Amino acid sequence: MSELKKIRVPDLKKMKQHGDKIVMLTAYDATMARLIDQAGVDVLLVGDSLGMVILGHKTTVPVTLEDILYHTKAVARGANRSLVVADMPFMTYQISIEETLRNATRLIQEGGASAVKIEGGRMVTEAVRRLVDAGIPVMGHLGLQPQSIHKLGAFRKQAKTGDAAENLFEDAHALEKSGAFALVLEAIPKEVAREATSRLRIPTIGIGAGPHCDGQVLVSYDALGIYDEFVPTFVKQYAHLGRDIRAAVANYAEDIRKGRFPEQNKPIPISASKRLDA
Ligand code: KIV
């Protein structure tokens, strides 16, 4: 959407109908949310990828509801136009419908998100229906579901056989029928993503799923080159901030060690000294 109107959940379906691509990125703090929002991104996802890129875990499995809640509050403070979607972490929507409703409510009511995202197909459609009935919009997530890493054994491409693709189409249809408003498709062949996109009325948002989805999402730390220890093959790095941060910090350290910062004869401006007094 080009105009600067706030993005709401129903806008995503209209974007699909008009052929406008949906732009989504992850965000985890207020400053980055503000920058990404100001750049015109439609959806900010407080992804459980924060477990890996912010908290230093090896997978998303250890992420808790409190982790997502804390970061959602920060992102919601920084966002203005973008739609804020909060990921529901592992095991916060599988135990019972009551617990699912309670957990999602916290992300909306305390966190300030406008929607939640849930991994899974027919296993989660009852939860999706109950959340949507209660007024909580739900984004689905099929293909590679990183919360199931211990079952999968590795982060690898999904839906590679005809049967697996049919299974994904059935899951996608069930999610749409249950009221999901959009669907993330992660790490699947581009032909499967294209077919799912054409069969569904709700928009698909791809990551490692080729160009035919209704929108695209990346982990912002990947796209900006901040998390640069491992770069998935489908990622395009639009900046190399990891490299730039290391260089800037090395300059800062060298300036201090050589006595170049702070500058000896530079007067401290009034506004800065006021801040020091405050
Ligand atoms: O947690 C996350 O960042 C995600 C995206 C990769 C879609 O789920």
3-state secondary structure of 36: helix
The 10s digit of each residue's pLDDT in 119-171 is 999 999 999 999 999 999 999 999 999 999 999 999 999 999 999 999 999 99
- The pTM score is 0.94
> How far is Cα 231 from Cα 186, in angstroms, rounded to an integer?
15
Q: Domain limits of the chain?
A: 9-239, 247-277
Distance 216 CA to ligand 1 centre (A): 11
User: What's the angle, vertex CA 112, arms to CA 9 and CA 109, rounded to 5?
Assistant: 100
Distance 174 CA to ligand 1 centre (A): 21
Average pLDDT over residues 43-72: 98
Ligand 1 atom index nearest CA of 218: 6
Ligand 1 atom index nearest CA of 146: 8
Structure-token pair, residue 197: 């996109």
The torsion angles phi and psi of 123, rounded to 5 degrees, stand at -60, -25
With 50 as the cut, is the pLDDT of residue 43 above it?
yes
Distance 49 CA to ligand 1 centre (A): 6
Is the C-beta atom of 219 inside 6 A of ligand 1? yes
Helix (H) or strand (E) holding 78: helix 65-78
Distance 27 CA to ligand 1 centre (A): 10
Active site residue 186: yes
Distance 166 CA to ligand 1 centre (A): 23
Distance 189 CA to ligand 1 centre (A): 18
> How far is Cα 121 from Cα 143, in angstroms, rounded to an integer?
9
If one residue of 87, 119, 224, 226 were mutated to test the ligand 1 pocket, choosing by the most ligand atoms within 8 A of its CB, it would be 87
Is the C-beta atom of 49 inside 6 A of ligand 1? yes
Burial degree of 190 (CB within 10 A; 0-12, 13-18, 19+): middle
Q: What are the E-state strand segments in 64-223?
A: 83-87, 115-119, 138-143, 182-186, 204-207, 215-218
Cα distance from N-terminal residue to C-terminal residue, the chain: 43
Q: Whose CA is nearest to atom 8 of ligand 1?
A: 47
Output the CA–CA distances (angstroms, integers) from residue 190 to 141, 171, 172, 186, in the order listed: 16, 17, 15, 10
How are beta strands 115-119 and 204-207 bridged, if at all?
Answer: unpaired
Structure confidence at residue 271 as a pLDDT band (50, 70, 90): low
Tokens 């049919």 appear where?
166
Structure confidence at residue 265 as a pLDDT band (50, 70, 90): confident
Q: Whose CA is nearest to atom 3 of ligand 1?
A: 47
> How far is Cα 51 from Cα 3, in angstroms, rounded to an integer?
33
Q: Say which of 3, 99, 119, 186 is annotated catalytic.
A: 186
Output the CA–CA distances (angstroms, integers) from residue 243 to 23, 62, 224, 226, 248, in the order listed: 25, 28, 10, 8, 9
If one residue of 24, 36, 44, 45 were mutated to test the ligand 1 pocket, choosing by the most ligand atoms within 8 A of its CB, it would be 45
What residues are paired with 86 via a beta bridge?
46, 116
Residue 278: predicted pLDDT: 46
Is the C-beta atom of 143 inside 6 A of ligand 1? no
- Domain 9-239: give its CATH code: 3.20.20.60
The 10s digit of each residue's pLDDT in 86-120 is 999 999 999 999 999 999 999 999 999 999 999 99
Q: How many CB atoms lie within 10 A of CB 251?
A: 12
Output the CA–CA distances (angstroms, integers) from residue 71 to 52, 64, 80, in the order listed: 14, 11, 16
Q: Whose CA is nearest to atom 4 of ligand 1?
A: 47
Phi-psi region of 24 (alpha: psi -120 to 50; beta: other; left: phi over 0): beta
Residue 273: predicted pLDDT: 56
The torsion angles phi and psi of 134, rounded to 5 degrees, stand at -85, -5
Q: Whose CA is nearest to atom 1 of ligand 1?
A: 47
Residues 6 or more apart in contact with residue 240 via CB below 8 angstroms? 225, 228
Structure-token pair, residue 34: 């503000």
